[in-house]
Structure 1
Amino acid sequence: MNRLLSRLSLDPYLLLLIATVALASVLPARGGFADIAGGAADAGIALLFFLHGARLSRAAIMDGARAWKLHLSVAALTFGLFPLIGLAVSVIPGLDPALATGVLFLTLLPSTVQSSIAFTSIAGGNVAAAVCSASFSNLAGIFVTPLLTALLITGRQSGFSSDPVVTITVQLLLPFLAGHFLRPWIGGLIARHKKVLGYVDRGSILLVVYTAFGAAVIDGLWSRIAFGELALIAGLSLAILALVLLAGAGLGRWLGFSREDRIVLIFCGSKKSLATGVPLAGVLFSQAQVGAIILPLIFFHQIQLMVCAALARRFAQAERLEAP
């Protein structure tokens, strides 16, 4: 089964997300169980960012500072070009307001870590720079994404949290800093149990998705959104990704980056993190609206994996043909 999914460039975790959405659509959490699930989801978000902080090494931060030109270029795509495209797309007439907000929100998110590094490695790029760039992006996203959300979405979306600064500080920033400062004592433990903690990460996200979609279904999500709008979201996701990939390739050539660094710019600059986006949405938006808001992110997540997997293989093949 895993081999078949790999050939189809399907992320097995996406299937779990789809199953979670289906479960929440049929059996949403209600009453006291909804309160318990919501509290567990909040705790899971805090744990998720604690582990993010514990995994980020200070050596990676120091090494990354040396390639500042490349990292600034990735940031320009991630937090500059992407949001501009998101603003343009979010005003398309006829698109459900919550989905439009979701499209804009996904463009404000940081880059992924694991897939950016993996695709850079497959394509023959600068893996060390990809590790630093993706880590920097995720670290910046804790501050930049809420700020951009406040600037670009507040006032347009009534579901935005009324007190985001306190919520972000307590639920995201403090756990992240605690994990990072405890890294000298717990870093080895986390490294030894990386696989198990990966299940904790993904389980926390699935719980957030379940509670969010359950609340959205109770609020009438599927009665408002038509199949045609979901198809439109898929098409928009593909178009957004294509624009950023082309921009990354052009920017890398214009700045005179080496082939290896251009690959880093292309893959790190074109990704959006589902692992960061779902918890942030759970913190920044009301529970009833999170379900619709993260739908575009789920679509984009799978599309970026499929497209970038094919692109990475093409880069690798080109490198083998050019080798003496």
Structure 2
Amino acid sequence: MALRTLFADPMLRMLVAAVLLAALLPARGEARDTAQLVANAAVFLLFLLNGLRIARRDVLAGLANWRFLLPLILFVFGAMALLGLGLNALSEPLLPPAIALGFLYLGALPSTVQSATSYASLGGGNLALSVVSAALLNIVGVFVTVPVFLLLGGSGQGAVGSAVIAKILLLLVLPFVIGQALQTAAHSFTARYRHNIVWVDRMAIAIAVYVAFSGAVEQGIWTRVAPQAWAALLGLVAVMLLLAHGGAWLTGGMLGLPRADRVSFLFAGAQKSAAVGAPLATILFAPEAAGFIVVPLLLYHLIQLVVAAPLASRLAQHPAGDGDCTAPTTTATDRSAPPR
């Protein structure tokens, strides 16, 4: 049941397909250069569409709710980044350096938009606040993720310099700004083709994952990572997920947030975005490193979807008082299919 619920998510199916394709037919040599150009174009299109869809009024509304938004930003880009740094240090003796560095990279990423808002809604959260905060976190992440990653010592495996900064501005910031500028004129287009645009999003992310993981396969990820290292990696990702959810829930309680806002804080704070992480990795890191660095992100994304459905169901079925600071738990009987 858990696997059926999990693979009902089309994005996850595409990510798995991208990893399998990279494992069987990785892009090498000149083909990798071509694939990288295609990935760059897809990333540009992805952030252009984000700019077209995220309403300016929603951005302004979110900025007005600082009691919720500021602690959330500090949690996502502060507490989670420090957690990633700690797990990076803990995993260094167990994993290849680039995979260990992936925990720091994972911690510095913004949260998801679609799944965080969907599961917050299923769990009785504040849907409007979830949509606005998740969108704003992704906007902030474009400007904050790389500086936080570098500040905490994450430049070791990345080719970080003026050329990379220029690529980030060109492929992430510029298309988003263009999208915001054209938003009013393109409103009817985005409304008419919103379902098709979602599939363009998914394809762009899958291409970025394919390019990144192709580099890891070319560098021999299957032979360089021993079975016991994969087990350690899975355990560390599970620990990060547990601490992220527990920390987000307790933080919402300490802030005295209303129950619905606290549920929204939980999912926005604990979930991490492959939609930003995978494309950004292809820009920030050399191909031979990017595929290793995104491995913790891909595993985290997989497990967060496994956890999110029963957790949202538990929150919806067992509402507690606003002051309850007990972390939510899941049971084997809790089941909920993700929205489509």
TM-score by length of 2: 0.88
**Partner SS, residue 184 of structure 2:** helix
Greater mean deviation of Cα atoms: 34-43 or 265-274: 34-43
Q: 1:162 and 1:288 mapped to 2: Cα distance? A: 20
Instruction: Say whether the 8 Å CA contact 2:211–2:282 is kept in structure 1.
Output: no
Residue in structure 2 matched with residue 279 of structure 1 by the alignment = 279
Instruction: Say whether the 8 Å CA contact 1:99–1:296 is kept in structure 2.
Output: yes
Greater mean deviation of Cα atoms: 81-90 or 157-166: 157-166
Deviations 1:256-309 (Å, cap 9, x if unpaired)?
A: 111111111111111100111101111111111111111111100011111121
Residue in structure 2 matched with residue 301 of structure 1 by the alignment = 301
Aligned-residue offset at 1:221: 2.3
Q: Trace 1:41-80 onto structure 2 (pairs within 5 A).
A: 41-80=39-78
Residue in structure 1 matched with residue 310 of structure 2 by the alignment = 310
Q: 1:211 and 1:9 mapped to 2: Cα distance? A: 22
Residue in structure 2 matched with residue 28 of structure 1 by the alignment = 26
Which ranges of structure 1 fall in alignment gaps of 5 or more residues?
Answer: none
Name the % identity.
Answer: 40
Deviations 1:139-183 (Å, cap 9, x if unpaired)?
A: 100000111122224443254456322111111111110111110
Residue in structure 2 matched with residue 146 of structure 1 by the alignment = 146
Q: 1:8 and 1:38 mapped to 2: Cα distance? A: 29
Aligned-residue offset at 1:241: 1.6
Shift in CA distance, 250/242, structure 1 to aligned 2, threshold 3 Å: same
Q: Trace 1:203-218 onto structure 2 (pairs within 5 A).
A: 203-218=203-218
Instruction: Say whether the 8 Å CA contact 1:41–1:207 is kept in structure 2.
Output: yes
Q: 2:155 and 2:122 mapped to 1: Cα distance? A: 43
Q: 2:163 and 2:218 mapped to 1: Cα distance? A: 24
Instruction: Say whether the 8 Å CA contact 1:82–1:244 is kept in structure 2.
Output: yes
Instruction: Say whether the 8 Å CA contact 2:59–2:136 is kept in structure 1.
Output: yes
Q: 1:43 and 1:152 mapped to 2: Cα distance? A: 30
Residue in structure 1 matched with residue 167 of structure 2 by the alignment = 167
Aligned-residue offset at 1:319: 3.5
Deviations 1:192-213 (Å, cap 9, x if unpaired)?
A: 1111111111111111222222
**Partner SS, residue 298 of structure 2:** helix
Instruction: Say whether the 8 Å CA contact 2:81–2:108 is kept in structure 1.
Output: yes
- Give, as a single letter, the amino acid of the residue that structure 2 aligns with 1:210: Y
Aligned-residue offset at 1:217: 1.7
**Partner SS, residue 229 of structure 1:** helix
RMSD: 2.0
Residue in structure 1 matched with residue 265 of structure 2 by the alignment = 265
Q: 1:219 and 1:204 mapped to 2: Cα distance? A: 23
Instruction: Say whether the 8 Å CA contact 2:158–2:284 is kept in structure 1.
Output: no
Shift in CA distance, 203/153, structure 1 to aligned 2, threshold 3 Å: farther
Q: 1:229 and 1:12 mapped to 2: Cα distance? A: 29
Residue in structure 1 matched with residue 244 of structure 2 by the alignment = 244
Deviations 1:13-44 (Å, cap 9, x if unpaired)?
A: 32332232222122212333222211111111
Q: 1:260 and 1:199 mapped to 2: Cα distance? A: 30
Q: 2:305 and 2:67 mapped to 1: Cα distance? A: 26
Q: Trace 1:108-123 onto structure 2 (pairs within 5 A).
A: 108-123=108-123
- Give, as a single letter, the amino acid of the residue that structure 1 aligns with 2:240: I
Residue in structure 1 matched with residue 197 of structure 2 by the alignment = 197
Q: 1:141 and 1:174 mapped to 2: Cα distance? A: 14
- Give, as a single letter, the amino acid of the residue that structure 1 aligns with 2:271: K
Shift in CA distance, 117/299, structure 1 to aligned 2, threshold 3 Å: same
Residue in structure 2 matched with residue 222 of structure 1 by the alignment = 222
Report how many residues are paired.
319
Greater mean deviation of Cα atoms: 64-73 or 111-120: 64-73
- Give, as a single letter, the amino acid of the residue that structure 2 aligns with 1:224: R
Greater mean deviation of Cα atoms: 86-95 or 23-32: 23-32
Q: 1:154 and 1:248 mapped to 2: Cα distance? A: 24
- Give, as a single letter, the amino acid of the residue that structure 2 aligns with 1:43: A
Q: 1:266 and 1:139 mapped to 2: Cα distance? A: 19
Aligned-residue offset at 1:129: 0.8
**Partner SS, residue 184 of structure 1:** coil
- 1:104 correspondence with 2:97: no
Q: 1:265 and 1:85 mapped to 2: Cα distance? A: 17
Shift in CA distance, 213/52, structure 1 to aligned 2, threshold 3 Å: same
Residue in structure 1 matched with residue 157 of structure 2 by the alignment = 157
Q: 1:89 and 1:301 mapped to 2: Cα distance? A: 17
Instruction: Say whether the 8 Å CA contact 2:105–2:154 is kept in structure 1.
Output: no
**Partner SS, residue 213 of structure 2:** helix
**Partner SS, residue 47 of structure 1:** helix
Shift in CA distance, 64/193, structure 1 to aligned 2, threshold 3 Å: same
